[in-house]
Amino acid sequence: MPDKSIDHAFTARSLTSAATDPTHAGALSFMRRRYSKSLEGVDAVVWGIPFDAAVSNRPGARFGPQAIRRASAIFDNDPQYPFQRDLFEAMAVIDYGDCLLDYGNHQETPAAIEREATTILASGAFLLSLGGDHYVTWPLLKAHAARHGPLALVQFDAHQDTWYDDGKRIDHGSFVGRAARDGTIDTSRSIQVGIRTHAPEDCGIRMLYGHEVEDLSAAEIARTILEHVGDAPCYLTFDIDCFDPAYAPGTGTPVAGGPSTAKILSVLQKLGALDIRGADVVEVAPAYDHADITAIAGASVAMYMLGLRAERLARGR
C-alpha cells in the first residue's frame, strides 16, 4: 500500500490533505485532521472543551470531545455526503486539541475558555467547538461577539436555557438568558429549534417547538430559520438533546418527542445561506450512549457544520 499512511493526525504533510487511515485504526483527531497549535494558514479550527460541572442532571459531557473524535473516524477520505466534496480539498482545518481547565477551580473556567477562544478567533479562523455541557457556549459567545458584534443565535435544543441567572452562576440552563440580557446575542434575529420544555421567559427569541418540528418538513424548518435570521451574522449551537433520545440517548437531560437525526441533518444541509461566524456541538455524554449512537450523531452534526463552511469558502464568502 505505497499510497497509504497511518496516524494522519500527526503525519499529515498538508492541512488540506485527505487521510487514508483505516477507520478502525490510527490516531484519533476530529476527521483525522492534524493536531496543531499553529494557526498559520488555517481556515477552520476544531477545539474540544471537556467541561461538565454545570449540568443539572446527568454528568459526563466532559468526555464528549473524545467520543465525537472517535466517532468521526468513520468519515473516510471519500467526498462527504451530502456535500459531494472532499471538505478539506480547499479548506485547511486543524484539530487544536482541548482546552485545559482546572477541575478544582470552576470559577476560572469561563475566563479560560473565552481567553483561548479569543486567541483562536484573532487568527481569522472559523471555530468549531466540541463540548462539554452547554454552559461552554456562554464564554464562546462572548469571544465571538467581541470580534463580530452581537450575533443571532441559532440554537437546536430541547431546552430554552433561559432559567434564573444572577450573572455569576455556572449553569448550563441559563446562558441564553444571560446572553440576551447583556446584548451578546441579537434576540430579534435568534431562533431555537426543537424546544420541548417550558422556561419562565423566552427573551423575545423565536421558537419552533418539538411538535412544530414534527409537523413541518425539513425544507419548511430551514426556510423558517433562514427567513428569521436573514443576513445577520450568527452563531450556531447544537445541543445533542435536540434529537429524540431514540437517536441520542447519551446526553445529560434527554427529552422524549424530538426529531430524528435524518430530519435535522437535512435541515442543517439547507442552511448554507446563513452567515455562520462560529459553531459548537455540546452535551454528548458517552457513558449513557449505546453503540456510539449519540457520538455518531454529534460527529455528523459537526461534519455538517464544516461542510457548510467549506461550501461558503467555495463560494468565495
Reported as a single tens digit per residue, the pLDDT across 173-184 is 899 999 999 999
Residue 5 — pLDDT band, cuts 50, 70, 90?
confident
If one looks up domain 8-314 in CATH, what number appears?
A: 3.40.800.10
87-115 residue pLDDT tens: 999 999 999 999 999 999 999 999 999 99
Residue 55 clears pLDDT 70, i.e. is over it = yes
Positions at the binding site for Mn(2+): 134, 157, 159, 161, 239, 241
**279 neighbors 237 (Cβ within 8 angstroms):** yes
201-226 residue pLDDT tens: 999 999 999 999 999 999 999 999 99
**205 neighbors 191 (Cβ within 8 angstroms):** yes
C-alpha to C-alpha distance for 317 and 308, rounded to whole angstroms:
11
Select the more confidently predicted residue: 26 or 67: 67
The predicted model scores a pTM of 0.96
- The pLDDT assigned to 4 comes to 73
Residue 72: which H helix or E strand, with range?
Answer: helix 64-72
Task: Give mean pLDDT, residues 150-170.
Answer: 93
Positions at the binding site: 134, 157, 159, 161, 239, 241
- The pLDDT assigned to 216 comes to 98
Residue 113 main-chain phi, psi, to 5 deg: -65, -50
Residue 71 clears pLDDT 70, i.e. is over it = yes
- The pLDDT assigned to 166 comes to 85
- The pLDDT assigned to 200 comes to 87
